[in-house]
A and B are shown apart, each in its own frame.
Chain A
Amino acid sequence: MSTQSIQSSLPLESAPMRSGFPMHIAVFLAPAVIVYSVFSIYPLIDTIRLSFYAGDQSGVRHFAGWDNFRTLLADPAWSGQFWNALRNNLMFFAIHMVVQNGIGLGLAMLLSLPRLTGGSIYRTLIFLPTMLSVVIIGFIWQLILNPLWGIAPSLLKAVGLGSLFGPWLGQESTALVTVSLISVWQFVGIPMMLIYAALINIPDDLLDAATVDGAGPFSVFWFVRLPLILPTLGVVSILTFVANFNAFDLIYAVKGALAGPNFSTDILGTFFYRTFFGYQLQVGSPTMGATVATAMLVVILIGVMIYLFGVQRRLQRHAF
């Protein structure tokens, strides 16, 4: 073979370089692999390992098998809290899916109107809260909704609807919805931007062709634009899902780690915080906390798998 003849004519020391492991691939992959392993994969695996251990009073840890998981799922003192947090988290997610992504889609449609003036101003304004710190968002909304000196009660009174106002953040029935809507208000800019980017990517020819064929605005949306942005909606959904099941900060900022009243705003993130770090007289337990974290990982994994195998693979992509 010709390669062999070339090889044999080359100096000896360069030969192993060619036939051996392709070093350049390893070198190029190394930064990402190292950073990802050290800061993501190792902590993840160690968390899972820790969830199988239990600590005693002197802080010594011993292997405990599935005990922690049994406690989490079967002991009423733990499982009640866990299922409550999971239920609340699902509710939190549902509100985001319907309200945040629904409004995000609507806003994106409005922004992509061809004759809209000042579009970039709206875009910036709506996206602005996303860039603010959660602590500030929590603080502002607590002030707005404050029954003593908030602007919400006086605004409602000014239009004669004062009786509609309630201490929404303090009632068991309304607290979770209120906190969810605050979070929706903050993050609505993200689905809006993603969907807007997908919408302006659709060539005008397609829309014009549909119009010429006699489709009204509604049909154009339903049969032309929506199918074309479905992959983006899928990405938005999965981003919302992962962000919601990892959420913690807003609830902690507004309602504290005890997520009151009566744990009605408790989600997996706050439940994990209380378990891991402890709260007031509750002494934190790193092993039990790792168990909760592992359970959260499983929940998120299940959700992502459903999306991956149930939705992602059926999506059709269109290139223009």
Chain B
Amino acid sequence: MNRVDTKAFMKRAGRFLATVSVAVSALAFAQAASAQTLTIESWRNDDADVWNNQIIPAFNKKYPNIKVQFKADPPTEYNAALNARLAGGTAGDLITCRPFDASLDLFKKGQLTSVNDVKGIENFSDVARSAWSTDDGKTTFCMPMASVIHGFIYNKAIFDELKLTPPKTMAEFHALLDKIKSDGNYTPIAMGTADQWEAATMGFQNIGVNYWKGEEGRKALIEGKQKLTDPAYVETFKELASWAPYMGDGYKSQKYPDTQNLFTLGRAAIYPAGSWDIPIFRKQADFEFDAFAPPVPDASGKCYISDHTDIALGINAKSKNIEAAKTFLSWIASSEFADIYANALPGFFPLSKEKVTVKDPVAAKFVGWRDTCESSIRNSYQILSRGTPNLENELWNVSAQVINGTMKSDEAAKKVEDGLASWYEPHKK
């Protein structure tokens, strides 16, 4: 080695040593600090700002001794990443829970603890807890946080221009769509089938609750008293198929962001929505928008909404700070948290029984339907997606196909029923 090389080498070695020592001391420091630091695992990377700037500071005002860290993965990677970290023992103390089986699976593996004894759990109804309880309903393993509601968001400017009023029934809805279409300036329905889930979630689950009468139909399906080939489900598919002529050019390869842009650019009149779209539209749309509940097939009956339990928080069974984690969960169950969450993220509605005032007018309208209509959750989530093929993925597939015109509504119903009957006992008869 010549002199220059030696010098460079020494320099590099020195730098390396310095880095290592800094890293080691940082690690040691983290270890020492972790005694009262809680880490939250989440897929809501969009909400990191809200957690860091509003929720956690509010919590620390009451509990200054517990430090909380919010750590989020992209939604599509969350399940895989979380499973790997739980298996490796490096997961955070608090785990954001997906509804139903994904979390139930973690509980059965002993990776989540029961939260039955955590103060505040009594603030939640059985329906709210059902998404994070064992099948017998006895043990709840995550503290419910929020639900999302389906409905239709419409462009008020377009409605005013064409002198339209929000529809109540399916007949009115179709008359409205025809009017927008004959005007020719706007796409009546902003929706695409490329991502498939849009067709199933914003379409099938959104309008379907009115056909299968909410919880009544959902429970009958689980008990095997109803089949997916029953008229209620075929009718839902038929209704979906009738949307195709009103959708944008090339809706078959239109993806979710395309759909959002189509609406926020003011080129489409009606957007079959999930309430989680509200904060994004608030930011992007420069026109006024409003919402109407899913139209009912006939005006005489009750109305139903899909009020889907979507997000909860549980405790990692291997956490070293279980007591602190429990304190945090009790606070999550309080009305203080519900108030912050509902207003920082309009469109995510707290599940607790306590009254929360939602300030965003459109979000308030969504949550207001809870008073006039009956709430239900998506029918494919509890139990029915446990086997192969799983009902949720099947519904994505056939809903998109029905709208694409590659499958008839009764064929779609038969395909999902056959898939379910192939592994689910109550449907085998």
Contacts and interface: CB of A to CB of B under 8 A. Distances in A.
Given A261-B193, A261-B404, A283 B253 contact: no
A216 interface: no
A314 to B, nearest CB: 44
Nearest to B250: A147
Given A147-B249, A283-B101, A77 B108 contact: no
Interface string B156-170: 000000000000000
B197 interface: yes
Contacts, number: 123
A75 B196 CA distance: 25
6 contacts: A59-B110, A75-B388, A145-B253, A153-B250, A262-B401, A280-B197
Interface stretch (B58-66, B363-371, B390-398): B390-398
Interface stretch (A41-49, A168-176, A204-212): A168-176
Contacts of A237: none
Interface of B: 76, 79-80, 83, 100-102, 105, 108-110, 192-197, 248-255, 258, 261-262, 380-381, 385, 388-393, 396-397, 400-401, 404, 406, 419, 422-423
Contacts of B102: 278, 281, 283
Nearest to B419: A77
Contacts of B397: 258, 260, 262-263
A75 B422 CA distance: 10
Nearest to B249: A147
Contact of A281 (B192, B385, B406, B422): B385
The residue among A77, A256, A257, A283 with the most chain B CB atoms within 10 A of its own CB is A283
The residue among B100, B385, B392, B393 with the most chain A CB atoms within 10 A of its own CB is B393
Task: Give 6 closest A-B pairs by Cβ, nearest first.
Answer: A147-B250, A170-B252, A170-B253, A167-B250, A167-B253, A281-B385
Contacts of A278: 79-80, 102
Contacts of A221: none
B196 A258 contact: yes
A282 B385 contact: yes
A281 B80 contact: no
A172 B400 contact: no
Contacts of B400: 260-262
Contact of B248 (A142, A148, A255, A281): A148
Interface string A137-151: 000001001111100
Contacts of B401: 261-262
A279 interface: yes
A263 B423 CA distance: 21
A277 interface: yes
A77 B388 contact: yes
A173 to B, nearest CB: 9
Contacts of B388: 75, 77-78, 282
B298 to A, nearest CB: 32
